[in-house]
Copies of this chain bind each other. A is one copy, B any other.
């Protein structure tokens, strides 16, 4: 039952739009190099601020993908 093992890898992604856009950017980048991505857990959420304005929405994700 080799298919029943998955790996969990941690990435950080950021967007200048929103947290949900950052999650999409992170999932997109993960699926470029990893096969069988199943999901992502949001571990952290933070924003960068410059001159009082939010410039980036950043998330840390734990990505799960099934090993072949």
For A4, list chain B residues within 8 Å (CB).
13-15, 25, 56
Copies in the complex: 12
Q: Residues of A within 8 Å of B, CB-based: how many?
A: 46
Q: What residues make up the interface of A, taking CB atoms closer than 8 Å to B? A: 1-2, 4-16, 18-20, 23-29, 31, 37-42, 44-49, 52, 54, 56-57, 60, 62, 64, 67
Binding site of A, secondary structure by majority: helix, strand, loop or mixed?
Answer: strand
Find chain B residues with CB under 8 A from A31 CB. Answer: 49, 52
Name the B residues within 8 Å of A45 (CB-CB).
41-42
Give CA–CA (A24, B6) in the complex, Å. 14
Given contacts A1-B16, A18-B20, A31-B52, 18 further A-B contacts (CB under 8 A): A4-B14, A4-B15, A4-B25, A5-B13, A5-B25, A5-B26, A5-B29, A6-B12, A7-B11, A9-B9, A9-B10, A11-B67, A27-B49, A27-B52, A39-B47, A40-B46, A41-B45, A41-B46
